[in-house]
Amino acid sequence: MTGLKLVLESALPSISSIDLLSILNEIPENISLSEYEDLIPEFSSTEEEGEEFDRKEDDWSDKYLSPSEEIKQKLDRSFYVQWYNERIYSFEEFGFIENALQLCKHAYEIENFEEFSSFYNILYLESLLNKSCDQDLTLKQIKEMSEEEIIELILTFKSDYNQDDIDKRIQQVLLPSMELINQSNEYLKKNLIKKLQNNFDIYPIIYSLKLKSIFKTNEFDQFIRELILNINSINQISICQQLLTLIKDKQDLEYIIE
């Protein structure tokens, strides 16, 4: 990469943005984007000033770059958006999600291409899910999932899980994901009610949620109350008794589960 950067930097005055982006496309996806991110031409610059090229006769780049009408060329915004999209998808398809995230962030923060803001969120969600969940999901699969299904996936554990596994999943995956998902608290509550009604011991999850302080005290108490009021079997009473130990304002809940 060092040699390529030296050659390109010395030749930049005579290389159009179209040709430069084509060259950058040839860099293998596994190479960290940080090694050549500074070579990505900015659309904002070409839009404001246009691009003027004065290639010398017999310029070395003529041997490698396709001829184009480069004199005072003004690139269309859609060309840049398409390049970013294709390169980001290429990174993601080959499994280099960090490069995809970095380039998406570049498009949004440096170029101010607003459409890449939501794209970044989905990629970030993919990164979170594949980091800790027991599946290797693709971007396409995540796009096809509902937000409720995503919460359910995050809270699905192997049979040999322990409290440490739950704490890490909640801290590293659930909490960041909830910031990206509308009505995440409601989906979380629905999923935990469903688990409880299926006689799944949700106490370790609730315990971890309380430690992470994602609810205010009164909200957490109300959350526990709603869980307990949704039990549908005596098999869930012991779980509810554990849940009661996590709140101070038990009101009439003790009487209900007795």
The per-residue pLDDT for range 164-203, each reduced to its tens digit, is 999 999 999 999 999 999 999 999 999 999 999 999 999 9
| pTM for the structure as a whole | 0.79
Q: What is the pLDDT of residue 215?
A: 79
> If pLDDT is split at 50, 70 and 90, which confidence band does 92 have?
very high
Helix-helix angle 97-109:77-93, to 10 degrees: 160
- For the stretch 132-154, pLDDT in tens is 776 789 999 999 999 999 999 99
Q: Which of 64, 137, 122, 65 is nearest to 88 (CA)?
A: 122
pLDDT (0 to 100) of residue 31: 95
Chain segment 45-69, per-residue pLDDT in tens: 665 545 544 444 555 455 544 544 4
Q: Give residue 214's pLDDT.
A: 77
- pLDDT given at position 73: 46
CB atoms < 10 A from the CB of 155, how many? 22
Single-letter residue type at 118: S
Q: Is residue 72 pLDDT above 90, yes or no?
A: no
> Which secondary-structure segment (H or E) carries 243?
helix 237-244
pLDDT tens for 203-233 read 999 999 999 877 787 889 999 999 999 999 9
Q: Over the chain, what is the mean pLDDT?
A: 85
70 pLDDT more than 50: no
- Which of 71-80, 104-113, 118-127 is least confident? 71-80
Report the range of poorest mean pLDDT among 11-15, 48-52, 87-91, 150-154. 48-52
pLDDT tens profile 24-42: 999 999 999 999 999 899 8
Q: Using CA atoms, how far apart are residues 81 and 76, in angstroms rounded to an integer?
A: 9
Burial class (CB in 10 A: 0-12, 13-18, 19+), 129: buried
* pLDDT for the residue numbered 80: 94
